[in-house]
Structure 1
Amino acid sequence: MSKRKSKDKSLPIGECIFQVQAHLRLRLLQLAHPGKRCGVESQHKHLVELLKRTVIHGESNSVLIIGPRGSGKSMLLQDALREIQAVKELKENALAVHLNGLLQTSDKIALKEITRQLHLENVVGDRVFGSFAENLSFLLDALKTGDRTSSCPVLFILDEFDLFAHHKNQTLLYNLFDIAQSAQTPITVIGLTCRLDVMELLEKRVKSRFSHRQIHLLNSFSFSEYQAMFKELLSLSSGFPDVSFAEQWNASIQSLCENKTVEDILQKQFNASKDLRSLHMLLLLALCRVCVSHPNLNAADFVEAYRLRCVDSKANILHGLSVLEMCLIIAMKHLQDTYQGEPFNFQMVHNEFQKFVQRKAHSVYNFEKPVVLKAFEHLHQLELIKPMEGLSVRTQKEYRLMKLLLDNSQILEALQKYPNCPTDVRQWAMSSLS
């Protein structure tokens, strides 16, 4: 393995590539702090102040962080918690209890998880409690130290908050908000949800105990800020072991930012979704191509990564169809062209297929009608076609009006990649698609 000459500490190229992969993957998989985020500074400040009032001054609060998936709710909270943990004036380290609506599907399961995370299994032992509220109060009382006014602050973080609203009587939410409002113990309840109508899900008694603080996150950054994030996510920090390699890498990233092809790909990605996880996935796919023989990213890497990200799922389904099912798709396309997009039924498709078999086909077997109907129904199950009428309308299935959910480009792409497609079928398709 060759070594590069440099005045700085120089590592073998293979070791440098390994370090780059490890460093950037941690960042892109959000396992390491990725740096400054655009457009959420005020929300971050608000959340940090709220947490400080709990862990330093012993105040109780409740807040909802609301935003679409991928808008950075979890990362905002992690940043705020990281900042709080660095504050020197902390009387005690606050305890954090993480609950998720997808995992804690009932209040009983949630209570067991709270007990486990607070390490109070031995304290509870075989005690029997009359109600959920008594059990939760006992757990929080067990955290008190010294006199009754001194207690360890607890942060309750409820991911997928809207799912907790579906629990019976919303007992967990009611008790948490009740404790926060009555200031029995310094706690902060932080809910994370992507539902804008989450307040409508809460019962009146729960809603009345909630502070009604809401932090909204929307991906409102501009394309220039999006490009800046692209550069920051791929740049190596000053702490990278090989300084000369890091400088060379960062220079290549800078040139990528000025590349028109890369800019066009980023613009398409930005227009499709401002979800930062989508950007992270695009960069991860490009990063996978970096190796000893290809030590720097180039525009072709991003072209290939974007192609993989934008694979058409319906076109991929077509690759796995039987020849009969592919023939039915082509027959539907012919019918749509003939009748200018009007819906069709199975009988029309079957007739079109029969014409093809009798006049042109030499390599397609003439299937029995029940077999063709089964193939037609399979296309419906795959959602490549859909009925124009609701299920309540009683129409014989052979005459139910359907619509094709594929366009010419998808069918054409599937035919080009279709393994061992009969020549007759391909020519039949091309007569309509071209």
Structure 2
Amino acid sequence: MDGELDVAKACCRRVLRPLLHATWDRRSLPLVDSAFACAAFGVVDAADALRVLLGRTVVQGLSRSAIVVGPAHQARIAMIHALNLVDQGLGGSPSSYAVVHLSGLLHTSDGIALKTLSRQLHIEFEGGEFDVGMSSFRENMAYVLKVLRETSRINQPLIVVIDAFERFAQRPRQSLLYHLFDLAHHAAHQIAIIGITTHADVVSLLEHRVRSRFSNHRVVLRHQVPFDHLVHVLRRTLSLPGALPGCSRGFVDEFNAATETVFADGAVQGFLRAALERKWDMRRFFDAVAIAINRMPPTLLSTTHVMRCLRSLDVDPIDEIVFRLSPYQIALLVAMMHLEKRSICPYTFEMVYEEWRKFQNRDESRRTWRRQLFSKAFEQLIEANVVRVDSSGAGEGCMLANALKRFQQVMVVHEINDLRQRIVTHGERGKEYPTWLSEWIKADYAH
């Protein structure tokens, strides 16, 4: 029995592995696996749209730019599957084009990102070590242009994938995005620029000169799948094939029957429905399956065991909200906390932004952020129901349909001291806050 259980667990892990794939390494996610992952995450249509777009660059030599909007993990799966499909159309070889990757989380300035891009291009097209002495933005940009001109002559298309695209859009001047989109705007370069972001309104953050060079192509991923689809995929990851070497047919039938019983159980179905309503990321469900496999008891699956694994990943909804907040959203919330300490409530965007500006102006060396970034973050706080528009009648003129949003009076939905403590706790537990935000949070405690 123990030997059969080990074989069964190994089989389930093999099925689950493509769903937990967390890198851009396509060699470990071949076509059959990426197809399964796309179907599981419900991004088949998105992957096909990307295949068509990338095919126009790789096969037809046309320049393109696009934004993929949705969870980062699903976007990566869809993108890898699209590239696998392109490879299939080329006879299985990706050698006729190159793919390079940038990340707004890893490459914290345009200079760092451009130098990384130069290094990857050098490895892709020239081989050998990159000249680290070439460090200025202008030198690296000149090198990128040189490589692209040469690759155009030898018909070697380039695909640039930008993770956390919104981080680049939030930077002053947006120099790197301008240059990349400008390259894709001209037919002479065979290049596709694909930005990946969770922010549906990221294009509105782009400066006019950048937006004018963007192809305005968007691929929107679904954040969640229907309940029946979710149950089907979870059941699939915890089921064995009819004939499994190392396992008797009786064991396989018993194992699969236990899985059917678990996912037919009302408690399990109720939890899964509630988790979908709370907008669990799809990958969290698969993380729970991984836990269930690793900790599977000798008596096989049971409702109690699966529920325990699901609940181990069920975090407090307010904690989850705080974890997902961007630095600009947190900065605005801290400003609201300052105002509430002085019994100023409700407040408008103008009042909140002015409170932030007072802190920013204390140190002339502190970086100046564009007002538009905070305005957009303020709107997102309202949309996420972290703050709500005050409807008590105070400032009725601000509630008119044509009133400017920055004059709407709002209030924080959650208890302000609890929210403050959660923001601090997340910083202590490993959520990385920019230095300026950490200073702002400390200033709130000293205020």
Amino acid at match of 2:53: L
**Partner residue of 2:62?**
59
Q: What CA distance in whole angstroms lies between the structure 1 residues aligned with 2:101 and 2:262? A: 40
Q: Hey, what does 1:226 align to over in structure 2?
A: 230
1:179/1:314 CA distance change after superposition, 3 Å? closer
Deviation at 1:286, TM superposition (A): 2.1
User: Structure 1: which amino acid aligns with 2:66?
Assistant: V
TM-score where L is the length of structure 2: 0.61
Partner SS state of residue 215, structure 1: strand
Tell me, yes or no, if the aligned pair for 1:68 and 1:195 is still in contact at 8 Å. Answer: no
* Alpha-carbon distance, 1:257 to partner: 2.5
1:289 offset after TM fit, Å?
2.0
1:313–1:160 CA distance, 2 compared to 1 (3 A): closer
Q: Deviations over 1:139-173 (max 9, x none)?
A: 323545xxx2x321111000000111233421211
Write the distance in 2 (CA, Å) between the matches of 1:403 and 1:100: 33
Aligned to 1:309, the other structure's residue is in SS state: coil
Q: Which residue of 2 aligns with 1:410?
A: none
**RMSD of aligned alpha carbons:** 3.4
What is the CA–CA distance in structure 2 between the aligned matches of 1:387 and 1:181, rounded to whole Å? 45
Q: Counterpart amino acid of 2:232?
A: A
**2: CA distance, partners of 1:208 / 1:271:** 38
Query: Is the 2:102–2:162 contact (alpha carbons within 8 Å) kept by the matching residues of 1?
Result: yes
Further displaced range: 20-29 or 221-230: 20-29
Paired letter, 2:237:
L
Q: Work out the CA distance in 1 between the residues paired with 2:129 and 2:272.
A: 55
Q: Distance in 1 between matches of 2:303 and 2:135?
A: 65
The size of the alignment, in residue pairs, is 313
Which residue in 1 is equivalent to 2:442? none
Q: Which residue number corresponds to residue 144 of structure 2?
A: 136
Structure 1 counterpart of 2:90, one-letter code: K
In structure 2, the partner of 1:390 is 340
1:256 aligns with 2:266: no
Measured after TM superposition, the shift of residue 392 of structure 1 is: 3.7
Aligned to 2:4: 13
Match of 2:208 in 1: 204
Residue type of the alignment partner of 1:224: D
The superposition leaves residues 159-191 of structure 1 with CA deviations (integer Å, 9 ceiling, x where unpaired) of: 000111233421211111111111222111000
Q: Distance in 2 between matches of 1:14 and 1:41?
A: 33
Contact 1:60 1:183 in 2 (8 A): yes
Equivalent residues in 2 for 1:282-301, closer than 5 Å: 282-291=288-297, 293-294=298-299, 296-301=300-305
If you compute each CA radius of gyration, which structure gives the higher value, 1 or 2?
1
TM-score (norm: length of structure 1) = 0.63
The corresponding residue for 2:279 is: 273
- Which amino acid in the other structure matches residue 255 of structure 1? T
Identity of aligned residues (%): 27
Could you say which residue in structure 2 is the equivalent of 1:82?
Answer: 84
* Larger helix share, 1 or 2: 2
Decide whether aligned partners of structure 1 residues 237 and 128 sit closer, same or farther in structure 2, where only a CA change above 3 A counts: same
SS in 1 for 2:56: helix
Structure 2's unaligned 5+ residue stretches are 23-28, 320-335, 345-414, 420-447
Between stretches 158-167 and 264-273, larger displacement belongs to: 264-273
One-letter amino acid matched to 1:88: L
Aligned equivalents of 1:222, 1:25: Cα separation in 2: 19
Counterpart of 1:304 in 2: which secondary structure? Answer: helix
Which runs of 5 or more residues in structure 1 are unaligned? Answer: 4-11, 316-385, 395-401, 407-434
Compared with structure 1, are the counterparts of its residues 240 and 27 closer, same or farther at alpha carbon in structure 2 (3 Å cutoff)? farther
Q: Where do 1:296-375 residues align within 5 Å?
A: 296-310=300-314
CA displacement 1:190-213 (0-9 Å, x = unmatched): 000111221121111111110000
SS of the residue aligned with 1:390? helix
